[in-house]
């Protein structure tokens, strides 16, 4: 094994150890009571994978915390495996995602069990062209969280929309999606859809102005990637022949479809937009892979500023503007519940 591979292996091992250190000991989250009740009562009105795993774990006498840890281990390793299919710089991609999205990562165990399965299914269907594996991971994704079904609209757009028109079509589609959500919500239809209906409960919606504020991190990344993409296409006029580029480009900009609707229903952004940060970072690394060292340094520096600003908007700015920050509160809550780091002062 070459020296570079050894260094990458060491850093990636440190990354996994760090992730597990900060997640496996978590015992208190906003969603804990909800999921623990389901686990203890085996209620049928929840996704099949949750029921299956809870019954298996219950049959062996494990408590909810062990069940919770099982989810964290499975989807952490699944994310790791997906990233490794596209870049050796797993450390950078996973670290950015984990730091910025720690709160949902330790809260939404059903969705984050299904989301990496979704990513892997797209990888095998489009990128690797191993349909059987794609179907298997797709089934696991939907069985883990039925709301992931909407994300498979990507396959339709990927095959029907050319790379040169994809950004424009995604932007136009986002306007249509926003109007559709508004109309269906006002008619009271969308609230009746099983699983999806809860997303459109009045408590889950917000003013458009509040939604725009919460969507600023998405815009930061999308605009940054868009300008990098323009430069990349100018330098690589044969980009349409690069299958990996087309997949990463379309996969990244597909999320635009859900952004305007997330102005109104914030959970759409939390579920259908920002988790794609993993794809965005892989796409970023792919576009700068052939740049000179000095140019790469500049790109990483600018990207670092974007990460810092996004972190500020998510964790700090709401506290300054609104007097409280949900992400900050849940971050402290989760970390304080980890017994072996409880002695730290937050």
pLDDT tens digits for range 328-344: 888 888 898 888 876 66
- Owner of token pair 């709401």: 318
Sign for the pseudo-dihedral over CA of 166, 167, 172, 177: positive
284 CB-near residues (< 8 Å, 6+ apart)? 225, 228, 299, 303
For the cut 50, the answer to whether the pLDDT of residue 35 exceeds it is yes
Q: Does the pLDDT value for residue 345 go beyond 90?
A: no
Task: State the average pLDDT over residues 187-203.
Answer: 52
Of 88-92, 275-279, 299-303, 317-321, the least confident: 317-321
Q: What is the mean pLDDT of the chain?
A: 86
Q: Of 317 and 100, which is predicted with more confidence? A: 100
Average pLDDT over residues 89-104: 92
pLDDT band at 254 (very low <50, low <70, confident <90, very high): very high
- Given pLDDT bands bounded at 50, 70 and 90, which one contains residue 93? very high
Residue 170 vs residue 261, higher pLDDT: 170
Query: 135 or 190, which is more confident?
Result: 135
Indicate whether 128 pLDDT > 80.
yes
Confidence class of residue 203 from pLDDT cuts 50, 70 and 90? very low
**Comparison of pLDDT for 124 and 176, the residue scoring more:** 124
Least confident of 136-140, 181-185, 234-238: 181-185
Q: What is the mean predicted confidence (pLDDT) over 136-146? A: 95
pLDDT of residue 188: 57
Q: Is the model's pLDDT at 80 over the cut of 70?
A: yes
Q: Which residue has the higher pLDDT, 255 or 203?
A: 255
Mean pLDDT of 253-259: 92
CA 156 to CA 79: how far, in whole Å? 24
Give the model confidence (pLDDT) of 276-301 as tens digits. 999 999 999 999 998 899 999 999 99
Contacts 24+ apart (CB under 8 A), 219-227: 219/259, 220/306, 220/309, 220/310, 220/313, 221/277, 221/280, 221/306, 221/310, 222/252, 222/253, 222/255, 222/256, 222/259, 224/302, 224/303, 224/306, 225/252, 225/253, 225/280, 225/283, 225/284, 226/167, 226/253
pLDDT class of 53 with cuts at 50, 70, 90 = very high
Percent of the chain exceeding pLDDT 70 equals 88
User: Quick one: pLDDT at residue 225?
Assistant: 95
DSSP, collapsed to helix, strand or coil, labels residue 238 as: coil
Q: Between residues 213 and 217, which one has the greater pLDDT? A: 217
pLDDT tier for residue 204 given thresholds of 50, 70 and 90: very low
The enclosing H or E element of 174 equals: helix 166-187
Highest mean pLDDT among 30-34, 104-108, 203-207, 267-271 belongs to 104-108
Name which residue leads in pLDDT, 186 or 247: 247
The pLDDT of residue 37 is above 50: yes
Rounded distance between C-alpha atoms, residue 346 and residue 342, angstroms: 9
Name the band, by pLDDT with cuts 50, 70 and 90, for residue 270: confident
User: Quick one: pLDDT at residue 202?
Assistant: 47
């Amino acid at each position: 094994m070459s020296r570079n591979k050894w260094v990458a292996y060491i850093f990636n091992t440190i990354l996994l150890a760090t992730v597990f250190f900060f997640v496996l000991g978590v015992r208190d989250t906003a969603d804990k009571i909800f999921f623990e009740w389901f686990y203890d009562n085996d209620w049928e009105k929840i996704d099949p994978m949750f029921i299956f795993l809870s019954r298996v774990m219950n049959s062996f006498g494990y408590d909810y915390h062990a069940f919770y840890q099982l989810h964290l281990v499975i989807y952490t390793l699944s994310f790791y495996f997906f990233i490794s299919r596209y870049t050796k710089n797993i450390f950078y991609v996973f670290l950015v995602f984990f730091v910025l999205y720690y709160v949902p990562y330790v809260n939404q165990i059903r969705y984050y069990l299904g989301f990496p399965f979704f990513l892997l299914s797209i990888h095998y269907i489009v990128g690797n062209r191993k349909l059987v594996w794609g179907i298997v991971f797709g089934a696991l994704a939907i069985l883990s969280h039925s709301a992931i079904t909407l994300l498979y609209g990507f396959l339709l757009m990927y095959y029907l929309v050319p790379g040169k028109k994809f950004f424009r079509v995604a932007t136009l589609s986002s306007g249509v999606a926003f109007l559709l959500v508004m109309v269906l919500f006002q008619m009271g239809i969308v609230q009746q859809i099983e699983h999806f209906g809860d997303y459109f409960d009045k408590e889950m919606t917000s003013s458009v102005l509040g939604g725009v504020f919460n969507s600023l991190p998405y815009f930061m990344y999308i605009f940054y990637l868009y300008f990098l993409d323009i430069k990349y296409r100018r330098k690589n006029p044969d980009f349409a022949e690069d299958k990996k580029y087309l997949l990463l480009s379309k996969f990244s900009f597909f999320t635009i479809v859900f952004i305007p609707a997330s102005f109104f229903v914030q959970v759409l952004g939390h579920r259908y937009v920002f988790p794609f940060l993993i794809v965005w970072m892989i796409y970023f690394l792919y576009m700068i892979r052939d740049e000179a060292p000095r140019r790469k340094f500049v790109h990483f520096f600018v990207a670092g500023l974007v990460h810092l600003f996004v972190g500020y908007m998510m964790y700090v700015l709401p506290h300054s503007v609104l007097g409280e920050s949900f992400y900050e509160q849940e971050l402290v809550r989760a970390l304080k519940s980890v017994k072996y780091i409880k002695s730290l002062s937050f």
